[in-house]
Structure 1
Amino acid sequence: MILTVDVGNTRIKGAVFEGDILVEYFVFEKNELQKKIKNILKKYKKTTHLVVASVGNIEKESFLELEKEVKIHFVSHQDSFPFVNSYETPQTLGIDRMVLAAGATLQYPNQNRLVIDAGTCVTYDFIDENDNYLGGAISPGLRLRYEALHNFTSKLPLLSLDEPKHFIGKSTSESIHSGVVNGLVCEIDGFINEYKGQCLKFIIILTGGDTEFLAKRLKNTIFANSNFLLESLNRTFQYKIKND
């Protein structure tokens, strides 16, 4: 069994896999890291490897204390990946984006793929049918957009994510919700349409914490899978074992 862990900007997500089957999914705060992982390892005693992808601010030492219980692998740029990295600054490409690209390459072979990860930031990553990673885009996610409107103005309130009641906001709160939610939906559909202008056919994978909220609002056909990064971590690690 393999335990995959995604250290994000806000929370930690994990999943236990047996082969390609996701057995159980976990979400917890960063200050609960060691306690939660120890409990997972106690529950799933056949776990042999802990595979970590981190973009969040957390020290490796927090994981290394678990080395007596499980073998630990931190995914890095030096690992084997199933695509050619054509990014102009490959060492600055986030590990999370590399893992998503690897998962899309392995799960959907011989196709053009666009992976959209809607979390703290929204990332767009494109891998062509010849397994070349070409790049993408990064923009603020829903939470960052709400916070930016509040933090960089003098009077706009800080709101939590909510369904816009009207497309045309009839109050300041309604206008913020419409601008944040509809703005991001239009952005995602706009990005997809731009890619459609460059590629005759490709698949679109939407993942991240805001997957369910956004998926039903998009006009384009997508594969929605909020656990795609954890699944991709598992596939990437198995690819590494076979190819190292």
Structure 2
Amino acid sequence: MSSPFLAIDIGNTRLKWALYEGAFPGAALQAHGAEFLDHIERLADGPWAELPAPGSMLGCVVAGDTLRRRAEEQITERFDCAPRWVVSSAGEAGIVNGYDHPTRLGADRFVAMVGARHRMLSQGPERPMVVVLIGTAVTVEAIDASGKFLGGLILPGHGIMLRALESGTAGLHVPTGEVREFPTNTSDALTSGGTYAIAGAVERMVQHVRSHCGAEPACFMTGGAGWKMAPAMNGDFELVESLIMDGLLVIAKARAPAAAG
């Protein structure tokens, strides 16, 4: 019988966690939550206080070593479980990393691609993919049908765009507006401009993949602000809230025989 598995994603703003029935794709979700990075120390005595102890955990971190260590302190304080973290490598769990320096690829980007490929293969034959993470920053990844990561884009998320405009332009301290085809006030103009800037970058990458691979890519979107972007996207994008957690489950399952041996 499998023991519970804890998956953790430490982003630029929040720590997201999920407890599953086991370390394998499709495992039932038992509990989940998120904490802002300033409040990581609440986990052991707060949301994790009543959780069953996981037999293993795996996480990804983009927020730096200090925050990783703070999370590890909470894990070891509450659970008898060794913290393990994904570091991007030359290849794992169906993804071949084409980055110039593979270990410099953000772990969240790598894990999301693993999760997306597993999802794509569960739906049908191999296809190229475009994988979009909408968070504090936005990343747009291109993967060919064999699972090779071809390259990706990084651009600012909505919040960074708005703060940059506010700091560099007089008088642009306005509340967030709505996405409009033809904005007629500054709030809507700012929100629409940021949304369509991201959508345009994604659309360009879809065109690149379609041309390079000679096939229509499967397109996946994830991240805390994905639901805001989805209505503005061209094409058929599948919004998957748990793509990084899905990737952690796939990697944990793929590593299990090696860990046992």
Cα distance change on mapping 1:178 and 1:132 into 2, 3 Å: closer
- Match 2:114 to one of 78, 86, 102: 102
Work out whether residues 141 and 151 of structure 2, in 8 Å CA contact, stay in contact via their aligned partners in 1.
yes
Residue of structure 2 equivalent to 1:48: 55
The total of aligned residue pairs comes to 242
Aligned: 1:241 with 2:256: yes
Aligned: 1:21 with 2:33: no
Aligned: 1:64 with 2:72: yes
Q: What do the CA deviations read for 1:87-118 (whole angstroms, capped 9, x no partner)?
A: 11212111111111222233333331221101
Compute the TM-score of the two structures, normalised by the length of structure 1: 0.88
Look up the equivalent residue of 2:189 and give its one-letter code. S
Secondary structure at the residue paired with 1:98? helix
Residues in 2 aligned to 1:56 and 1:220: alpha-carbon distance in whole angstroms: 32
Residue of structure 2 equivalent to 1:75: 86
Residue of structure 2 equivalent to 1:91: 103
Look up the equivalent residue of 1:6 and give its one-letter code. D
Secondary structure at the residue paired with 2:249? helix
Residue of structure 2 equivalent to 1:180: 194
Larger CA deviation: 73-82 vs 199-208: 73-82
Q: Could you say what the CA RMSD is over the residues aligned between the two structures, in angstroms?
A: 2.2
Cα distance change on mapping 1:125 and 1:185 into 2, 3 Å: closer
Look up the equivalent residue of 2:163 and give its one-letter code. E
Q: What do the CA deviations read for 1:48-85 (whole angstroms, capped 9, x no partner)?
A: 22322110144333133232522211212359712222
Cα distance change on mapping 1:217 and 1:77 into 2, 3 Å: closer
- Match 1:10 to one of 10, 13, 32: 13
Residues in 2 aligned to 1:243 and 1:136: alpha-carbon distance in whole angstroms: 30
Residues in 1 aligned to 2:145 and 2:39: alpha-carbon distance in whole angstroms: 41
Q: What do the CA deviations read for 1:120-157 (whole angstroms, capped 9, x no partner)?
A: 11111122222212211111111111111112223322
Residue of structure 1 equivalent to 2:159: 143
Work out whether residues 142 and 205 of structure 2, in 8 Å CA contact, stay in contact via their aligned partners in 1.
no
Secondary structure at the residue paired with 2:43? helix
Q: Report matched runs for 1:187-202 at 5 Å.
A: 187-199=201-213, 200-202=215-217
Secondary structure at the residue paired with 2:83? strand
Secondary structure at the residue paired with 1:60? helix
Cα distance change on mapping 1:89 and 1:159 into 2, 3 Å: farther
Residue of structure 1 equivalent to 2:137: 121
Question: What is the CA distance between 1:197 and its match in structure 2?
Answer: 2.6
Gaps of 5+ in 1: none
- Match 2:150 to one of 134, 143, 148: 134
Cα distance change on mapping 1:213 and 1:233 into 2, 3 Å: same
Gaps of 5+ in 2: none
Look up the equivalent residue of 1:2 and give its one-letter code. F
Compute the TM-score of the two structures, normalised by the length of structure 2: 0.83
Cα distance change on mapping 1:12 and 1:158 into 2, 3 Å: farther
Look up the equivalent residue of 1:194 and give its one-letter code. H
Identity of aligned residues (%): 22
Work out whether residues 12 and 28 of structure 1, in 8 Å CA contact, stay in contact via their aligned partners in 2.
yes
